């Protein structure tokens, strides 16, 4: 399947507001509500389109760890699948010929789950040869900031029309994220477009309480809505993780420059010899080569780059995997 102009416009609209009604999207795009709904169903079935709600990691008290696990070829896929099933992982990928697994682990402030995985679970797995763990110190681009490759279909006026103003609430009156929000967050991680009726069933709250709490959390920036869709639908055939060693004095400048590149879907400062990680999306290996040589290679302060190609994404941004589709 290849996306047509209306498909890309609908995806861009959902990137602007993942919970925008089909009627509002249709009004902005000049098509019927039924057309938008039909297209979204088709995109879900053929391209893995999915809106998910996620907590702001800092407000949720989460520390994110980027794991690079080297495993025996025969056991790598099984280990990756076990990571997919965990509720604290995101972006589980098979990279580097299928013998390396990349995963993001969300650890609470106490860090118990991350310590258990790193010190107990993974070392006891016979197929694991080595584990490298990098703490994500700062995210420069990604998460609420969507990849620009899917955000070029709507003009500024259309985007403004889709941006639903959130009710202004005095900050002192907004309750921060707490354990009682767990069922709501879990439901939104499964389906960010779940109706108030569905969210009420998941939480045991009234629809009015769901609507108020959702508005409260959005107003405070405590949650945001992300979009999952197969990047191949946008011509991406070459996906790579770039591990950059950057001189500390240049780290912030380099990261901010990379965050403006259209090839980049994520930029984060991390611990370790490679202190900056970049997720790059390109059309072909030749385009990736050109990007590394003509863009990355000309930035002052970068001492070295390790490139690991992504073979398959088994789990995307939601901690709850989409069982209906395996992302290539």
Pair of tokens at residue 68: 């690079």
Q: Please give the Cα distance from 238 to 90 (Å, whole number).
A: 20
Please check whether residue 276 is in contact with residue 268, taking contact to mean a CB–CB distance below 8 angstroms. Answer: yes
What is the Cβ-side half-sphere exposure of residue 63, based on CA atoms within 13 angstroms? 17
Q: Please give the Cα distance from 237 to 328 (Å, whole number).
A: 10
Q: Please give the Cα distance from 11 to 154 (Å, whole number).
A: 10
Work out the average pLDDT over 118-122.
63
Q: pTM (2 decimals)?
A: 0.89
Provide the b/e sequence for 286-307 (b: ≥16 CB within 10 Å).
ebbeebbeeebeeeebbeebeb
Q: Please give the Cα distance from 137 to 37 (Å, whole number).
A: 39
**Lowest mean pLDDT, pick from 3-12, 53-62, 274-283:** 53-62
* Confidence band for 282, pLDDT divided at 50, 70 and 90: very high
Ramachandran sector of residue 171 (left: φ over 0; alpha: ψ -120 to 50; beta: rest)? alpha
Q: Please give the Cα distance from 66 to 136 (Å, whole number).
A: 7
pLDDT at 127: 83
- Tens digits of residue pLDDT in 45-104: 999 999 999 999 988 889 999 999 999 988 899 999 999 999 899 999 999 888 999 999
Please check whether residue 95 is in contact with residue 102, taking contact to mean a CB–CB distance below 8 angstroms. Answer: yes
- Whether 169 shows a pLDDT value over 70: the answer reads no
Please check whether residue 199 is in contact with residue 210, taking contact to mean a CB–CB distance below 8 angstroms. Answer: yes
Work out the average pLDDT over 132-148.
91
Give the Cβ contact number of residue 130 at 10 Å. Answer: 10
Average pLDDT, whole number, for the chain?
91
pLDDT at 109: 65
Of 96, 90, 59, the closest CA to residue 228 belongs to: 90
pLDDT at 267: 98
Please check whether residue 26 is in contact with residue 174, taking contact to mean a CB–CB distance below 8 angstroms. Answer: no
User: How many helices (H) does the chain have, and how many strands (E)?
Assistant: 11, 10
Q: Please give the Cα distance from 232 to 150 (Å, whole number).
A: 11
Please check whether residue 90 is in contact with residue 319, taking contact to mean a CB–CB distance below 8 angstroms. Answer: yes
pLDDT at 251: 98
pLDDT at 38: 98
Continuous H helices in 17-71 = 22-29, 33-47
Percentage of the chain beyond pLDDT 90 is 75
Work out the average pLDDT over 157-164.
89
Domains of the chain listed by start with CATH number: 233-311 (3.30.70.920)
């Amino acid at each position: 399947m290849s996306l047509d102009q209306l498909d890309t416009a609908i995806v861009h609209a959902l990137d602007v507001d993942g919970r925008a009604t089909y009627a509002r999207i249709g009004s902005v795009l000049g098509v019927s509500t039924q057309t938008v709904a039909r297209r979204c169903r088709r995109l879900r079935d053929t391209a893995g389109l999915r809106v998910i709600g996620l907590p702001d990691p800092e407000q949720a008290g989460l520390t994110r760890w980027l794991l690079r696990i080297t495993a025996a070829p025969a056991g790598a896929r099984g280990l990756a699948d076990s990571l997919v099933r965990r509720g604290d992982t995101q972006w589980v990928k098979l990279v580097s010929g299928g013998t390396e697994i990349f995963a993001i682990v969300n650890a609470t402030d106490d860090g118990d789950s991350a310590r258990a995985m790193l010190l107990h679970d993974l070392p006891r797995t016979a197929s694991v040869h080595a584990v490298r763990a990098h703490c994500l110190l700062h995210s420069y681009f990604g998460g609420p900031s969507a990849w620009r490759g899917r955000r070029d279909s709507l003009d500024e006026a259309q985007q403004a029309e889709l941006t639903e103003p959130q009710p202004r609430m005095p900050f002192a009156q907004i309750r921060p994220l707490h354990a009682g929000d767990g069922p709501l967050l879990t439901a939104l991680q499964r389906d960010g477009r779940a109706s108030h009726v569905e969210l009420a069933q998941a939480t045991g709250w009234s629809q009015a309480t769901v609507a108020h709490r959702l508005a409260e959390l959005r107003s405070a920036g405590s949650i945001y809505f992300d979009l999952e869709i197969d990047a191949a639908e946008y011509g991406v055939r070459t996906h790579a993780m770039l591990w950059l060693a950057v001189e500390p004095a240049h780290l912030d400048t380099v990261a901010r420059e990379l965050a403006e590149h259209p090839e980049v879907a994520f930029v984060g400062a991390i611990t370790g010899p490679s202190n900056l990680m970049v997720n790059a999306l390109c059309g072909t290996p030749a385009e990736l080569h050109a990007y590394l040589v003509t863009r990355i290679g000309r930035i002052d302060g970068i001492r070295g780059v390790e490139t690991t190609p992504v073979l398959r994404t088994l789990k995307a941004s939601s901690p709850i995997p989409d069982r209906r589709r395996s992302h290539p």
